[in-house]
A and B are shown apart, each in its own frame.
Chain A
Amino acid sequence: MAQINVEKYIAGYGRTKESAIPILQAIQTDYGYLPMDVLGKVCEESEITKSHLYGVATFYSQFKLTPKGKNAIKICKGTACHVKGADVSIVAFKDQLGINIDQTTENGEFSLETVACLGCCSLAPVVMVNEDVYGGLSSSKVRSTLKKYGKE
């Protein structure tokens, strides 16, 4: 395996436990998830203990310990989305991608997760694909949104 370089995280954010969250965020931005060997290396080269880093990584819902798809789909499960039928769009995403929540398609293109609230409540139900938000979801809008990201 290639040498893992974690110097940029430690140099960029600091070597004490105060920096745990920004370091994990930076790793996740680079890798799309938190690879265990990278986390281990961070602990070796900083003052952050393994138990602390793992504790933080598993507390916050943003952090993922398994790889996400190239296109990360976050379906909003906020109150407004719930009363406006988010459950139907969740079924549509699952059906059209053939995966469940917290899974990734076999080709690695798409992963599905639900999030608490994206704060675009007046366009409910909404979904965030990577960093773009789409509102007014229906099963046909789910189809056209997925098509935009290359789903055939």
Chain B
Amino acid sequence: MGKNNGHIRFVVGLGSCGIAAGAKDLYEELAAKMKSHPAATLTHTSCNGMCFKEPILEVFYPDGNHLMLGNIHKKDVDKVLEPLLTQKPVDEKFVIENSLQPDKVESFRLKQHKIVLENCGVIDPDDIAPYLEKGGYTALKKVLTSMTFEQVIEEMKASGLRGRGGAGFPTGMKWQFARNTQSEKKYMICNADEGDPGAFMDRAVLESDPHRVIEGLIIGGYAIGAHYGYIYVRAEYPLAIKRLKIAITQATERNLLGDNILKSDFSFHLKIKEGAGAFVCGEETALIASIEGERGNPRLRPPFPAVSGLWKHPTNINNVETLASVPWIINNGSAAYASYGTAKSKGTKVFSVAGKIAKGGLVEVDMGIPLRDIIYTIGGGTSSGKPFKAVQLGGPSGGCIPERLLDTPVDYESIAATGAIMGSGGMVVMDADTCIVDVAKFFLTFTQKESCGKCTFCRVGTTRLLEILERIAAGKGVMEDLDKLADLSVKVKDLSLCGLGKTAPNPIITTIKYFRDEYEEHIKDKKCRAAVCKDLIDFAVVEKECTGCHACFKNCPVKAISGTAKAVHHIDQKICIKCGMCYEVCKFNAIFKG
């Protein structure tokens, strides 16, 4: 990719986040304005992880110099294009990195170590050639020409790679189980049903480097002896689906998929299955039911899918990030991979960091680094500058980790010891303006809605848990409610069949464990210190700050605000629904909430 053929190469990041931030408009504007310039070319890549800097433009010069610009929009093109084409300085506010200023380093990139994400934001995901140039499919070639399936499985075991979907089961052992079952037909499935709200690692990998996942999947197929594979992708990720379809066509054209791959005896056929919007389908037996065309109800295990899975054939299911790690391990050796990380958690882990964080984005770090490094060194602390309250790991199955535990290393066991789980890697940062009871209520609203209804304790239990939380948030809770939450949480965990119910109470358990004082404030003092719970707060105009700009008046959806232009406004508490609209639109800090 480094070759420019004497051209100045412009590269725009066109991942979903980038496009949402305006990267497509930027790309089109550049295309129109650069048309007449013979010495420059325009291409695209996907996401380099710096979501907080989107849209991102990189420029590579024939002399080897390189510039990375961020927060650059269509309207800025006229300002920067000429200096970029003539290699003159551009407005510093756009510059993230410049090879001529080696001291200018973006702290977000410090402490990161990219294995899974090594090509993300580097290659054009719609073209197989850049992936091949980066050594793509050499691992597949190596496996097919020089390794037995036993050797591949042993290599995976030796690498220490554990399932990145959340459970952390050793990948090599999982492959071994599927290999051990004798059957004429087996299936290899990639679980790309990334349903955790707040997680987007898998989307970014699929959009940025789809061939890497496909290569890992084919190698897995070879190892377990499967000739058919599926990638189950959630329908909310249309761009990932589009790029995967293109990649499968390209790989098939080059005989990297299909019959007798690369003239070997091994054949592998791959299909995409689009999910239809059900969180529970991230659970492997529910995912299998969904591919079979059923409602996504989980099934009792055993038999495990490795023995009887899709259409009762042995089936192995791995997460996107797990499979994306496989080609690197084959190419570089298990020892190289195992040299990163901790004793029990090897390699690297990708996290998506979002919420109240200054620098949100996609992060890949060695296992074992403290959470604090991710939140502060890489993420730059809270976006509001207000005190950090908690980081939520593992989505609805996970838990909230408070400030005092931020030195916890990221590995499966240490995170589990806090009561949270590693999960798939979604990290949502919360500051002093986030109410912890509201967060627990948010997750239970989600799991209650997504419970498939098969198990009573999940179906009814999450409903009762939610009702208690709603009561506390409304200021109608009693202290015994905390005991009821604790008691019912244990029952829902113990008496549910699948991971959804078994982990649904985790957000409640961890928030009560670390933030019991906030629950007690809601119950005893009828107070929400973060000013989030509507029944416990009021909105009022701060008279001395109000300029009478009329913005609150115009935006109030229930006409609860009165006042004429340039005069102090008033909120009628009887009409106010506490939606917070006036607070959001006021530019003069003239609305008080609390």
Q: Which residues of A contact B (CB under 8 A)?
A: 16-22, 24-25, 52, 55-56, 59-63, 77-85, 87-88, 91-92, 94-95, 115-124, 126, 128, 131-135, 138-140
Asked if B430 and A19 make an inter-chain contact with CB atoms under 8 angstroms apart, the answer reads: no
Q: In the complex, A100 Cα to B251 Cα: how many Å?
A: 46
Asked if B52 and A122 make an inter-chain contact with CB atoms under 8 angstroms apart, the answer reads: yes
B197 in complex: contacting residue of A116, A122, A133, CB < 8 Å: A116
Least CB distance from A61 to B in Å reads: 4
For B294, the chain A residues whose CB sits under 8 A away are 17, 56
Closest to A133 in B: B20
Q: In the complex, A117 Cα to B356 Cα: how many Å?
A: 17
Closest to B442 in A: A82
B355 in complex: contacting residue of A79, A87, A118, A133, CB < 8 Å: A79
Asked if A118 and B290 make an inter-chain contact with CB atoms under 8 angstroms apart, the answer reads: no
Asked if B279 and A120 make an inter-chain contact with CB atoms under 8 angstroms apart, the answer reads: no
Known: A16-B293, A80-B355, A119-B16. A92 touches B194 (CB 8 A): no
Asked if B21 and A117 make an inter-chain contact with CB atoms under 8 angstroms apart, the answer reads: no
Q: In the complex, A118 Cα to B240 Cα: how many Å?
A: 12
Least CB distance from B276 to A in Å reads: 4
5 contacts between A and B (CB under 8 A): A63-B276, A81-B197, A83-B355, A94-B557, A133-B20
Asked if A18 and B198 make an inter-chain contact with CB atoms under 8 angstroms apart, the answer reads: no
Asked if A139 and B276 make an inter-chain contact with CB atoms under 8 angstroms apart, the answer reads: no
Least CB distance from B386 to A in Å reads: 12
Least CB distance from A24 to B in Å reads: 7
Asked if A18 and B292 make an inter-chain contact with CB atoms under 8 angstroms apart, the answer reads: yes
Q: In the complex, A115 Cα to B541 Cα: how many Å?
A: 33
Asked if B198 and A121 make an inter-chain contact with CB atoms under 8 angstroms apart, the answer reads: yes
Least CB distance from A139 to B in Å reads: 6
The listed residue with most B CB atoms (<10 A of its CB), out of A25, A62, A81, A132, is A62
The interface stretch among B135-143, B337-345, B495-503, B576-584 is B576-584
Q: Which residues of B contact A (CB under 8 A)?
A: 16-17, 19-21, 51-52, 54, 194-200, 203, 235-238, 273-279, 290-296, 352-356, 360-361, 392, 395, 426, 428, 430, 434, 439, 442-443, 446, 450, 452, 555, 557, 579-581, 584-585
For B356, the chain A residues whose CB sits under 8 A away are 83-84
Q: In the complex, A144 Cα to B54 Cα: how many Å?
A: 20
Contacts A80-B428, A91-B579, A119-B199 supplied; 12 other A-B pairs, CB < 8 Å: A17-B294, A62-B276, A80-B360, A88-B580, A94-B557, A116-B446, A118-B236, A120-B17, A121-B354, A122-B353, A122-B360, A138-B585
A119 in complex: contacting residue of B203, B293, B442, CB < 8 Å: B203
Q: In the complex, A25 Cα to B273 Cα: how many Å?
A: 11
Q: In the complex, A79 Cα to B276 Cα: how many Å?
A: 20
For A82, the chain B residues whose CB sits under 8 A away are 197, 442
B293 in complex: contacting residue of A18, A62, A78, A94, CB < 8 Å: A18
Asked if A83 and B557 make an inter-chain contact with CB atoms under 8 angstroms apart, the answer reads: no
For B580, the chain A residues whose CB sits under 8 A away are 85, 87-88, 91
Q: In the complex, A48 Cα to B54 Cα: how many Å?
A: 46
Known: A17-B293, A83-B355. A121 touches B236 (CB 8 A): no
Q: In the complex, A138 Cα to B294 Cα: how many Å?
A: 40
For B19, the chain A residues whose CB sits under 8 A away are 132-133
Asked if A61 and B277 make an inter-chain contact with CB atoms under 8 angstroms apart, the answer reads: yes
Asked if B236 and A119 make an inter-chain contact with CB atoms under 8 angstroms apart, the answer reads: yes
Q: In the complex, A13 Cα to B292 Cα: how many Å?
A: 13
Known: A25-B276, A88-B579. A120 touches B20 (CB 8 A): yes
For A134, the chain B residues whose CB sits under 8 A away are 20
Q: In the complex, A4 Cα to B354 Cα: how many Å?
A: 47
Q: In the complex, A121 Cα to B54 Cα: how many Å?
A: 13
For B17, the chain A residues whose CB sits under 8 A away are 120, 122-123, 135
Q: In the complex, A94 Cα to B203 Cα: how many Å?
A: 29
Asked if B557 and A91 make an inter-chain contact with CB atoms under 8 angstroms apart, the answer reads: yes
A121 in complex: contacting residue of B21, B279, B428, CB < 8 Å: B428
Q: In the complex, A80 Cα to B442 Cα: how many Å?
A: 11
Least CB distance from B413 to A in Å reads: 24
For A83, the chain B residues whose CB sits under 8 A away are 355-356, 428, 430, 434, 439
Asked if B428 and A117 make an inter-chain contact with CB atoms under 8 angstroms apart, the answer reads: no
Least CB distance from A151 to B in Å reads: 16
Asked if B293 and A95 make an inter-chain contact with CB atoms under 8 angstroms apart, the answer reads: no
For A121, the chain B residues whose CB sits under 8 A away are 198-200, 352, 354-355, 360, 426, 428
For A116, the chain B residues whose CB sits under 8 A away are 195, 197, 236, 277, 279, 446, 450
For A21, the chain B residues whose CB sits under 8 A away are 273-274, 276, 290, 293
Q: In the complex, A14 Cα to B199 Cα: how many Å?
A: 34
Closest to A60 in B: B276
Closest to A138 in B: B584
Known: A79-B442, A84-B356, A122-B17. A62 touches B277 (CB 8 A): yes
